[in-house]
């Protein structure tokens, strides 16, 4: 009778430990999966918007010197998403200008407004990107802290040692040998089941600095647009 009660108690303790261990583990794994999905959505939406905005501006400014002056003016230290091929590709040009609203009456006026409006849109998308990046970074840090806390409260080696002790009726030399071999297997299992923290967000998504708002650089950006306009032949239509 006592043996049956001991078995029941042993089973309940094991079940409770397993439920707690794997329950917490599952929550963390789900948090990691959700973070991974959010990072992918962020990359496919906000980052692509920025890419399209910049490529559109590169195509409009066209000249390498004008583009570099634009980067300096905007506060960008590198030519993000830049490729000379983009400047000449009709397919890419059609894609980045699809659905773009153009203001103005003259061809030159529409061109200048398009440069200014494209930059204003870029600034908004960068702000959105940075805010979302910060939120993802907080979630990444939270998950890393969850994993650290999980291992502080759930030492798999100690748990397995405790579970083995529930099944040991007598303490003798054979138990010492079993514990020694069990320790190695527990450590091996813990290594295989190790929960790794999520990859740093900056290793997946580019770090994009905040841009100078349009208002303080509007005059100089307009000058750049006028310089760039001369490099476009009449076959470049701004609808």
- Asked whether residue 239 is assigned to any structural domain, the reply reads no
Q: What percent of the chain has pLDDT over 70?
A: 72
**CA 102 to CA 234: how far, in whole Å?**
17
For helices 107-153 and 214-229, angle between their N-to-C axes, nearest 10 degrees: 130
- Comparing 52-61, 64-73, 167-176, 221-230, the range with the smallest average pLDDT is 167-176
Asked if residue 94 belongs to a domain, the reply is yes
Q: Is the pLDDT of residue 187 over 50?
A: yes
Instruction: State the first-to-last Cα distance of the chain, in angstroms, to the nearest integer.
Output: 90
Regarding predicted confidence, which is higher, 189 or 188?
188
Per-residue pLDDT, 5: 55
Residue 202 tokens, joined: 């900056």
pLDDT score of 53: 96
Per the rule left: phi > 0, alpha: psi between -120 and 50, beta: everything else, 62 is left
Nearest to 197 by CA among 35, 20, 17: 35
Domain extent, residue 8, equals 2-229
Nearest to 157 by CA among 196, 130, 184: 184
* Number of structural domains the chain divides into: 1
Q: Is residue 235 part of a domain?
A: no
Q: Which of 143, 147, 178, 136 is nearest to 161 (CA)?
A: 178
Return the higher-pLDDT residue of 7 and 47. Answer: 47
**Is residue 236 included in any domain, yes or no?**
no
pLDDT in tens, 100-131: 888 888 889 999 999 999 999 999 999 999 99
Smallest CA-to-CA distance from 201 within 115, 143, 114, 118 is with: 143
- Structural domain contains residue 237: no
pLDDT tier for residue 172 given thresholds of 50, 70 and 90: very low
* Mean pLDDT value of segment 208-228: 96
pLDDT band at residue 226 under the 50/70/90 scheme: very high
Confidence bin at 156 (pLDDT 50/70/90): low
Whether 180 maps to a domain, the answer reads: yes
Average pLDDT of span 20-47? 87
Provide the pLDDT for residue 170. Answer: 41
- Residues 198 and 136 sit within 8 Å (Cβ to Cβ): no
pLDDT confidence band for 184 (50 / 70 / 90): low
Distance, CA of 15 to CA of 193 (rounded, Å): 19
Q: Which residues contact 151 (CB under 8 A, 6 or more apart)?
A: 195
List, for residues 50-65, the tens digit of each pLDDT value: 999 999 999 999 999 9
Q: What are phi and psi of 104, to 5 degrees?
A: 115, 165
234 within domain boundaries: no
Between 187 and 71, residue with greater pLDDT: 71
């Amino acid at each position: 009778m006592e043996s049956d009660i001991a078995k029941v108690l042993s089973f309940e303790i094991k079940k409770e430990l397993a439920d707690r261990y794997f329950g917490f583990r599952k929550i963390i794994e789900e948090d990691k999966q959700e973070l991974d999905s959010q990072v992918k959505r962020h990359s496919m939406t906000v980052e692509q918007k920025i890419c399209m905005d910049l490529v559109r501006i590169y195509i409009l400014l066209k000249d390498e010197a004008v583009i570099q002056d634009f980067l300096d003016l905007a506060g960008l230290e590198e030519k993000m998403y830049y490729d000379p091929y983009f400047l000449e590709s009709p397919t890419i040009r059609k894609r980045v200008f699809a659905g773009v609203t153009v203001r103005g009456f003259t061809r030159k006026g529409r061109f200048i407004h398009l440069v200014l409006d494209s930059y204003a849109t870029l600034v908004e998308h960068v702000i959105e990107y940075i805010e979302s990046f910060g939120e993802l970074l907080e979630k990444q840090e939270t998950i890393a802290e969850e994993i650290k806390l999980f291992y502080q409260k759930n030492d798999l080696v100690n748990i397995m040692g405790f579970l083995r002790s529930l099944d040991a009726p007598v303490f003798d030399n054979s138990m010492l040998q079993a514990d020694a071999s069990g320790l190695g297997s527990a450590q091996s299992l813990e290594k295989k089941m190790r929960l790794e923290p999520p990859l740093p967000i900056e290793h997946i998504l580019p770090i994009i600095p905040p841009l100078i708002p349009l208002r303080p650089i509007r005059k100089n950006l307009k000058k750049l647009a006028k310089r760039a306009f001369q490099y476009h032949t009449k076959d470049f239509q701004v609808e």
